Amino acid sequence: MILPFNLKAELSVDDPAPNFELLDQSGNTHKLTDYNGNWLVLYFYPKDDTPGCTTEACSFRDDIYEIRELNAKIVGISTDDIESHEKFAKKYSLPFPLLSDKDALVAKSYGSAVRVGPFKMAKRHSFIISPAGKIAMIYRRVNPNTHSSEIIDKLKLLATSKQI
């Protein structure tokens, strides 16, 4: 049985993005403010090295140059530990940070945490955060097969609208 872990009101477009400070697969600390001045694609996913999560991560990997051309960075977050992230990133040559949110506190702050029995996990949600740190787009229904191209199309629109 899956129960909601976050009962507060969900984030909306133009809300300030909740801050975070988490370690990546190499043990480096990442904070929201590290990405000021860039678009940030913050994507939450349930579990390393599972079919949907691998498809989504590899699509972002394959599209990384196009995403970077749009002045955007990608960061993945799940409740897996650093060691799991390190293996996953190495196995699939992922060129972006995977952050460990072991207690699902960051996922909870984004309305993206669920409890599956005794376990806390991240839902497959994505957020585009503006260079000024505001939520520019929220994806609560994500198809791992098409999500990267969906993100790229939205980033192109946001970049031309000068929304920050």
Catalytic residues: 53
**Residue labelled with tokens 């678009």:** 39
Q: Which two tokens stand for residue 164?
A: 């920050």
Q: How far apart are the first and last CA of the chain?
A: 39
**Residue labelled with tokens 């790229």:** 152
d(CA 9, CA 71): 30
